[in-house]
Structure 1
Amino acid sequence: MAGAFQIRSVAGVVLVVAIFWAIATRKKEDGILYANEYRNKLRTPEEAVKVVKSGDWVFMSHFAMFPQALDEALSKRVGEVHDVMVRSVCATVSPKICAADPEKKSFTYMSGYLSGHERKLGEKGLCYYIPGNYSASPTNIRNGNMYPPDVAMIQTTPPDNNGYFNFGTSVSYARATCEKAKTIILEVNDQVPWVLGGEQESIHISEVDYIVEKSYPLPQLPPTNTETEAERAIASILIEEIEDGSCLQFGIGGMPNTIAKMIADSDLKNLGIHSEMATTSYIDLILKGKVNGSMKNIDRYKTVFTFAMGTQQLYDFLDRNPSFASYPVDITNNPNRIALNDKQIAINNTVEIDLLGQISSESSGTRQISGTGGQVDFTMGASQSKGGKPFICMSSTTMHGGKLTSRIVPSIKTFSAVTCPRTIAPTIVTEYGKAQLTGKSTFKRAEMLIELAHPDFREDLIKAAQAQNIWTRTNKIS
């Protein structure tokens, strides 16, 4: 028996060694295969963009992943092509195709959410906004509501040993775009973090037509170190609404950063994050043990997002970090999926709100400031979550033309977009308090909102409410 056991053990060892040798050999062969395929598809940026023809639709990847080398190469084709439509989202650099073609003879540029760079271009007529809820973008591409791209230009990581490139900090709707694109060009950047995903975070070399290489650091958004008195007051109100086990969504800016600092210094525990954006402010929450995702109903122990923007510290922290999971936006921003996590907290900003509860968060008159993004998605998702709470926040006033003006107004400014209709208006927060508008009548909404306004504007707002017939003798303003 002992001898037989030894023989079987030796045979087993030989078999195991053979299996591992076969795997290693196969991996080596695959590596050679993919290396050859990589070299065969490698082009200079100038060679790759020659595939763009007049009348084409071109997609460029989003946010910090905007493909800078391909953009620059395409800008040199001004005059060679005409009527080329280019779209992206929130480019964190100013597209060179716009600077090279101010008369738009060759290129027309569009964005699904305006960055600061794109806002300035929009004011010059060089960038057009594409309205829509962020969550609907992949569906709109797949079903043809958005023009299918002739050419997709997407920045990625270098490939792994299995021939996969990672979409880095912007999964967004890159995969949906690649499914519909006639030609796929990857801009490979060795400084892009490999971001682990829930799904659709990578593309295989067999799906790619051309590859260009360019190494540069991703654009950074420095943390907002200054905070106003109003932001601190709003954050203090919001922190009282967050419980142990809550699931958070908030973006970037002074007020979200202030909230994150307060959470980091609080006694809150077992928090989760399900958001469309990952920011630098999340790092401290994770390192201090405030966020662990242990109470989430889905994606437990994972911080879920669809794109990331922030400092180099954030990009380094994301690289192959198993506590993060990046999904396409039709998953992260699906209101039904958002609602699966209990106690979902959604914190978003706005430009102004009128006495009916109409929320304008993306434009001021004809001036497009940003975009709808995921505000509607997360407002609806959090409202459907068990114990969930959606908030729309703003300081009560702003300076306009050197004059202090109220951000609570009788009616939304002419031509301004209504981002959240009054039918889904949630809890509104200013430095003067909070008002839960859901289920309230028009006259009660007017009263509650005027109480949140700066005292200098309340009398005029009461007169406006009376003129709109949404004020009764029972209304009171403390």
Structure 2
Amino acid sequence: MGKEKDKKDIQDWKKRFNVITASVEGAVKSISPGNRVLIGTGCSQPSLLVKGMTDRAQDLADVEVIQLLTLGDAPYAKKELADSFRVNSFFVSESIRDSISQGFGNYTPIMLSDIPRLFSNGQIPLDVCLIQVSPPDNRGMCSLGISVDIIKAAVENSKIVIAQVNSRMPRTFGDSLINIYEIDILVPVDEPIMEIPAAAVDEDNKRICEHVAALIENGSTIQMGLGKVTQIVAGYLKDKKDLGIHTEMISDGIVDLVKSGAVTGRLKSVDQGKIVTSFCMGTKKLYDFIDNNEMFSFRRTEYVNDPMVIGQQNKMVAINAALEVDLTGQVCADSLGTQFISGIGGQADFNRGANRSNKGKSIIVLPSTAKDGKVSRIVAQLTPGGGVVTTRGDIHYVVTEYGAAYLHGKSIQDRVMALISIAHPDFRAELLKKAIEYGYVVPSLAEVEGKLYVSPRELTTTMLLEDGTKVKFRP
């Protein structure tokens, strides 16, 4: 019965709008050797079209595959297909990391807000755009659903647009609509939208989230960047009031946060009452929640990530992840030494926007160690070859499971001592020794080497101020 209904629905919109559809195999024949092909973002990746393109590898050569964020399989990124396809990505996800580290793929580091301009000004002209949309409504408008981000600009600047028209794609509000006649080739499908289950949470993650939650005031507008810890912070904000959301990405955590009543958007300076985002990655729970939900406004990256727009919000809080932070406050978020791990993403956009905001805060989160506690993530100097995504001048807070260090407006010596205090205890003495060696702190501090001590969490006390602010004290 379900398949018969799907066929009838397809026939209905085909007839109503007098459009011709194609099979996957027929659609990808429009891709020619030497083309530049953009693939839809994250969970909105049109997997059937991607497979169809890859299956044509023997007929293609020098096809450049442009992508923002790829999840799941990336069959075109295999080394044996390097003569047919070459990846050029704005974010290095796991599925293409080997391709880039071995030199047969490329990573283009760029702020998320700047990517659409690469298409519109012709710096990266697009030949083909492979996307996924919902079926058209009565006006002939399809929805980009869970992924508007850079896709809206890509559609407007691509010579050929090929779309999987998926009956299971949620319809979203904001800037997500595209006229059916703007799509050159329509491929009807009925496939589950890709899902990303919530990450497992350990004790260190919980403590980081508790520290972050303590920094967020009622009435704040929140951004939660890409990363395991940043996306689970939402679960620790349910006792807040009148929160707003302005973020490039949302995940399943937003559902329970909204249902708790903590998110109203009532006090937002811009887009009052709306949860503004550009794409989402999660499970069916999330996709069902955003479907035809007017509270959510999916907007273009060039709007969502514009530091000028972000900075208009009062109490804007940007929460982003790092791989390493050095003792002066430089943040490395896209590489470990010379190996690219992720990307710049929206971290710089949102940190600068939050710093412009009235009572805004930028927060960098990271576990204190890596490799099962063998390596400190708070380091005397960044691993050689590592890139700085957030400069020491842009940083406000750094948070680990051991606490929060406030760095903005602080001297190098003050920063060093604050960061050492939230480093893992096993590495504090060595970090202090290095800081003295580099001249970051006065030599007399050598007398406390090996004696630096931060009290346990059990000794933390709290005080509730008259304005409702909760202050934590830790000896």
Q: Which bin holds the TM-score, normalised by the shorter protein?
A: 0.7 to 0.9
1:77 equivalent in alignment to 2:56 = yes
Counterpart mapping for 1:272-421 below 5 A: 272-399=244-371, 404-421=374-391
Counterpart mapping for 1:53-202 below 5 A: 53-99=32-78, 102-123=80-101, 125=103, 127-145=105-123, 147-197=124-174, 199=175, 201-202=176-177
Match of 1:23 in 2: none
- What amino acid sits opposite 1:324 in the alignment? F
Residues 339 and 384, structure 1, Cα contact 8 Å, conserved in 2:
yes
- After superposition, give the CA deviation of every residue in 1:263-314 in whole Å (9 maximum; x if it has no partner): 22x2x21111111111110111111111011111111111110000011100
- What amino acid sits opposite 1:215 in the alignment? D
Match of 1:446 in 2: 416
Secondary structure of 1:139's aligned partner: helix
- What amino acid sits opposite 2:42 in the alignment? F
How big is the shift at 1:127?
Answer: 4.0
Residues 36 and 127, structure 2, Cα contact 8 Å, conserved in 1:
yes
1:203 equivalent in alignment to 2:178 = yes
Partners of 2:172 and 2:66 in 1: how far apart?
Answer: 24
Secondary structure of 2:237's aligned partner: helix
- After superposition, give the CA deviation of every residue in 1:144-192 in whole Å (9 maximum; x if it has no partner): 23x1101111111111111111111010111211221111111111111
Question: Which segment is superposed worse, 311-320 or 455-464?
Answer: 455-464
Aligned length: 439
- After superposition, give the CA deviation of every residue in 1:81-106 in whole Å (9 maximum; x if it has no partner): 2111011122222122234x624111
Counterpart mapping for 1:453-464 below 5 A: 453-464=423-434
Residues 148 and 177, structure 1, Cα contact 8 Å, conserved in 2:
no
Match of 1:49 in 2: 28
- What amino acid sits opposite 2:335 in the alignment? S
Partners of 2:285 and 2:405 in 1: how far apart?
Answer: 37
How big is the shift at 1:409?
Answer: 0.9
- The TM-score with structure 2 as length reference comes to 0.87
Residues 142 and 180, structure 2, Cα contact 8 Å, conserved in 1:
yes
- What amino acid sits opposite 1:231 in the alignment? N
Counterpart mapping for 1:237-248 below 5 A: 237-248=211-222
How big is the shift at 1:255?
Answer: 3.0
- What amino acid sits opposite 2:115 in the alignment? S
> What runs of 5+ residues in structure 1 fail to find an aligned partner?
1-30
Partners of 1:296 and 1:189 in 2: how far apart?
Answer: 34
Partners of 1:216 and 1:36 in 2: how far apart?
Answer: 22
How big is the shift at 1:252?
Answer: 5.9
Partners of 1:292 and 1:235 in 2: how far apart?
Answer: 21
Partners of 1:185 and 1:411 in 2: how far apart?
Answer: 47
How big is the shift at 1:257?
Answer: 5.3
Partners of 1:254 and 1:75 in 2: how far apart?
Answer: 31
How big is the shift at 1:124?
Answer: 5.2
Residues 252 and 279, structure 1, Cα contact 8 Å, conserved in 2:
no
Residues 397 and 404, structure 2, Cα contact 8 Å, conserved in 1:
yes
Question: Which segment is superposed worse, 431-440 or 375-384?
Answer: 431-440
Residues 138 and 173, structure 1, Cα contact 8 Å, conserved in 2:
yes
How big is the shift at 1:117?
Answer: 2.1
How big is the shift at 1:126?
Answer: 5.3
Secondary structure of 2:86's aligned partner: strand
Rate the CA distance shift 1:223–1:122 in 2: closer, same or farther, 3 A.
same
Question: Which segment is superposed worse, 440-449 or 344-353?
Answer: 440-449
Match for residue 406 of structure 2 among 430, 436, 447: 436
Residues 230 and 395, structure 1, Cα contact 8 Å, conserved in 2:
yes
Question: Which segment is superposed worse, 121-130 or 425-434?
Answer: 121-130
Counterpart mapping for 1:221-232 below 5 A: 221-224=196-199, 226-232=200-206
Match of 1:9 in 2: none
Rate the CA distance shift 1:474–1:39 in 2: closer, same or farther, 3 A.
farther
How big is the shift at 1:79?
Answer: 2.2
Partners of 1:240 and 1:403 in 2: how far apart?
Answer: 26
RMSD over equivalenced CA pairs, Å = 2.1
Secondary structure of 2:126's aligned partner: coil
Partners of 1:35 and 1:103 in 2: how far apart?
Answer: 36
Residues 37 and 130, structure 2, Cα contact 8 Å, conserved in 1:
yes
Partners of 1:290 and 1:256 in 2: how far apart?
Answer: 17
Residues 38 and 211, structure 1, Cα contact 8 Å, conserved in 2:
no
Partners of 2:149 and 2:218 in 1: how far apart?
Answer: 29
Rate the CA distance shift 1:315–1:120 in 2: closer, same or farther, 3 A.
farther
- The TM-score with structure 1 as length reference comes to 0.87
Match of 1:16 in 2: none
Residues 77 and 96, structure 2, Cα contact 8 Å, conserved in 1:
no
Rate the CA distance shift 1:300–1:469 in 2: closer, same or farther, 3 A.
same
1:213 equivalent in alignment to 2:188 = yes
Match of 1:15 in 2: none
How big is the shift at 1:214?
Answer: 1.9
Residues 66 and 91, structure 1, Cα contact 8 Å, conserved in 2:
yes
How big is the shift at 1:315?
Answer: 0.4
Match of 2:237 in 1: 263
